[in-house]
Amino acid sequence: MLVSTWLNGGVEATRVAEWAGHRVGVLLRVYAKCLDGGEQEARRRVEQALSTT
C-alpha cells in the first residue's frame, strides 16, 4: 500500500522504486494502474517547467 500511496502522492517512479527495493520496470508494470489519470497535473508541471526556462 505504501508504494501506491507514494505514486499517487506524486513521488517520481525512480525514487519510489528505490525506496521499495524494486527495479523501475517492475514497479511500473505492477503499479501502472496507480499512474493512470493525473494527466492534467502532468501537463501543468510541463507548462510550469517550460515557463521557468
User: CB of 46 within 8 A of CB of 19?
Assistant: no
Instruction: Identify the domain containing residue 29 by its residue range.
Output: 2-51
Q: What's the pLDDT tens digit per position in 25-52?
A: 999 899 888 776 777 888 888 999 999 7
Q: Distance (Å, rounded) from C-alpha 49 to C-alpha 16?
A: 22
User: CB of 31 within 8 A of CB of 3?
Assistant: yes
Q: H-type helices in the chain, by residue range?
A: 2-8, 13-20, 24-35, 39-51
Q: Would you state the pLDDT for residue 53?
A: 62
Q: What percent of the chain has pLDDT over 70?
A: 92
As for how many domains the chain has, the answer is 1
Predicted TM-score (pTM) of this structure: 0.67
